[in-house]
């Protein structure tokens, strides 16, 4: 109920961006000419287009709809992806990319054979050894497309190869029978398959297979977080970027016992069985493979599968794995936006009593079994002292944003920094074209247009001020530096971005006016609640026996209390010693 406005916003934005991309590709706008032919391997060749950023004469070679796996159709529906079948001769890679099946989308480009990627490269010199950014789109694992995001600006101004990938969504991407018939996490396996394709085939496009950074936003960011945990992606990337999302957030990754009933319900609703049982799910898969895609999408309103702990791709609860240090030690750039929660509820102003009820209602979607205890933790942080209409609106936005994105991002950051370089950011610049509530700074997904250089390309939605163009250029430089070297800093960045550490938890703050400042200890009390207090109340994580501790110099409330307790113990020992003497 609270999510409906968010979904309308997200779908509307996706349709607009995909539509613009379709027009540019198919009508030849934006300065396109035929690109050179690239031979990938053997006799398999690709012909793309040459495109330009606004006011740039630097040609960018673009190859769209490049297949990276066998079509996941017919007998391959619901199964893990398999290697692409190579072709003989020249393949046209200048047209629009397909869109993986999803609700709310009516397009001739939407089809089940959608496992493709789009490549934007400044050169096809095999000796160029350029760094690569692989982009995983968001959309709650049920919406979105590679064609929403274009890398012309990154390739033009930062000399980085940008690759945007499609992956299966919704029922097709995450339905499971807990067997090879439908293993679950097909969408994540698809992404891995794309990583492998890039690793093996990027050299003819000017790329260095040992300079790959995976990146994503929202669901794409959660996927990045899952790939960092998975043993299946070892050696496939050197850095990672998570923009607004981690796999540790509540209700982002399910237990198998939560996902199998969804498959059972789907099989029974479609008519593949009358009294379906979980133990016989494999027997229903042949029937489900023959169901039309239209019918499957209709049923997605009733049940939407999601990433699952399958003891294969995801071995354990992501929160536990990060707590126990069971993740890849690659440099990590991670962050969030100033008002993440502003997208996810309507613009009505809650009263004090309704604010508490709305917090409970929203929390119940994520913590259904212990919601009252969690609300009691939230009230002093988000309800008490919020006396004006604006205060209460901001409070609800803060709660939603902290729950979904900001709390988990900070928690992962403080754990990750113990073993690998970690850089945290907060993006709070309100886009000049924003129509959100006046008090809101940057909402969910607002940063993408700046990190990918929309002000410099024809498909950029909305108009941009000169200051926003400067801001976008500066942010792209930070991102590109990180992609190239594992550090966002260089002599020409506006501010040295300090590593996030356990002591001060410093982060780069990109402010409302586009200024860059160094800040530390973001909302300590709220972050402590989401990192320590609330997880202990989460029944999903109740088997976690590991108590994670920062080093003794940490200034968070948890470390302060720990230090205080030690001091009390020492004082009591000293008093006893004096009494004995």
Residue of 397, 444, 459, 472 marked catalytic: 444
Alpha carbon distance 272, 266 (integer Å): 9
Task: Determine the 3-state secondary structure of 349 from DSSP.
Answer: coil
Beta bridge partners of 520: 506
Listed in order, strand segments (DSSP E) in 410-529 are 422-427, 506-510, 516-520
Residues contacting residue 322 through CB under 8 Å, at least 6 positions apart: 229, 248, 411, 412, 415, 416
Closest CA to 355 of 322, 405, 320, 394: 394
Active-site residue flag, 218? yes
Kindly name the residue from 94, 146, 218, 244 that is annotated as catalytic: 218
Instruction: Quote the Cα angle for 372-378-383, to 5°.
Output: 115
Sequence-separated (6 or more) residues with CB below 8 Å from residue 3: 344, 365
Query: Rounded to an integer, what distance in angstroms lies between the CA atom of residue 521 and that of residue 533?
Result: 17
Full DSSP string of 448-473: HHHHTTGGGSTT--S---HHHHHHHH
Report how far residue 312's alpha carbon sits from residue 314's, in angstroms, rounded to the nearest whole number: 6
- Ramachandran angles phi, psi of 206, nearest 5°: 90, 10
Q: What is the DSSP string of 114-149?
A: --EEEEEES---TT--EEEEEEE--STTTS--GGG-
- Beta carbons within 8 Å of 526's beta carbon, 6+ residues apart: 381, 398, 402, 407
Q: How would you label 404-426 residue by residue, b for 16+ Cβ within 10 Å and e otherwise?
A: bbbbbbbbbbbbbbeebbbbbbb
Could you count the other beta carbons within 10 Å of the beta carbon of residue 27? 9
Q: Helix (H, G, I), strand (E, B), or coil: what is residue 577?
A: helix
The set of catalytic residues is 218, 340, 444
């Amino acid at each position: 109920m609270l999510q409906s406005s968010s979904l309308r916003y997200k779908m509307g934005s996706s349709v607009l961006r995909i539509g613009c991309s379709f027009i540019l590709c198919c009508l030849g706008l934006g300065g396109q000419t035929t690109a050179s032919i690239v031979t990938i391997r053997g006799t398999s060749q690709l012909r793309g287009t040459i495109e330009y950023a606004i006011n740039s004469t630097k040609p960018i070679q673009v190859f769209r709809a490049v297949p990276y796996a066998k079509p996941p159709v017919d007998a391959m529906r619901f199964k893990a992806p398999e290697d692409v079948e190579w072709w003989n001769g020249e393949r046209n890679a200048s047209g629009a990319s397909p869109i993986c099946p999803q609700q709310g989308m009516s397009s001739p480009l939407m089809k089940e054979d959608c496992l493709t990627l789009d490549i934007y490269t400044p050169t096809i010199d095999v000796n160029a050894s350029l760094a690569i950014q692989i982009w995983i789109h968001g959309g709650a694992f049920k919406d979105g497309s590679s064609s929403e995001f274009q890398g012309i600006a990154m390739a033009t101004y930062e000399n980085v190869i940008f690759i945007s990938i499609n992956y299966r969504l919704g029922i097709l991407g995450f339905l499971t029978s807990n067997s090879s018939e439908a293993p679950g996490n097909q969408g994540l396996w698809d992404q891995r398959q794309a990583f492998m394709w890039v690793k093996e085939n990027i050299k003819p496009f000017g790329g260095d297979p040992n300079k790959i950074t995976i990146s994503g936003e929202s669901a794409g960011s959660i996927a990045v977080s899952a790939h960092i945990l998975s043993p299946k992606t070892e050696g496939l990337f050197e850095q990672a970027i998570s923009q607004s999302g981690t796999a540790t957030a509540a209700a982002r990754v399910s237990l198998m016992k939560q996902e199998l009933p969804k498959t059972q319900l789907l099989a029974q609703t479609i008519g593949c069985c009358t009294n379906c049982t979980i133990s016989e799910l494999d027997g229903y898969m042949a029937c489900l493979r023959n169901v039309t895609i239209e019918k499957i999408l209709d049923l997605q309103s009733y049940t939407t599968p999601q990433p699952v702990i399958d003891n294969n791709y995801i071995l354990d609860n992501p929160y536990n794995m990060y707590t126990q240090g069971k993740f890849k030690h690659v440099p990590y750039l991670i962050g969030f936006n100033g008002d993440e929660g502003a997208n996810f509820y309507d613009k009505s102003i809650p009263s004090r009593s309704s604010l508490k009820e709305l917090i409970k209602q929203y929390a119940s979607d994520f913590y259904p079994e212990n919601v009252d205890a969690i609300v009691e933790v939230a009230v002093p942080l988000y309800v008490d002292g919020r006396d004006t209409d604006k205060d209460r609106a901001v409070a609800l936005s803060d709660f939603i944003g902290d729950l979904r994105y900001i709390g988990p991002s900070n928690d992962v950051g403080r754990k990750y920094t113990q073993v690998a370089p970690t850089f945290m950011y907060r993006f709070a610049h309100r886009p000049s074209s924003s129509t959100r509530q006046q008090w809101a700074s940057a909402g969910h997904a607002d940063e993408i247009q700046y990190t990918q250089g929309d002000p410099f390309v024809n498909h950029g939605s909305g108009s941009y001020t000169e200051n926003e163009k400067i801001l976008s250029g500066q942010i792209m430089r930070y991102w590109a530096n990180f992609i190239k070297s594992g550090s966002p800093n260089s002599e020409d960045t506006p501010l040295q971005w300090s590593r996030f550490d356990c002591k001060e938890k410093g982060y780069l703050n990109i402010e409302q006016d586009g200024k860059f400042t160094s800040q530390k200890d973001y909302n300590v009390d709220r972050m402590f609640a989401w990192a320590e207090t609330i997880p202990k109340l989460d029944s999903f994580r109740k088997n976690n026996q590991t108590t994670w501790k920062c080093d003794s110099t940490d200034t968070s409330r948890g470390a302060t209390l720990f230090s205080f307790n030690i001091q009390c113990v020492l004082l009591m020992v000293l008093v006893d010693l004096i009494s004995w003497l």
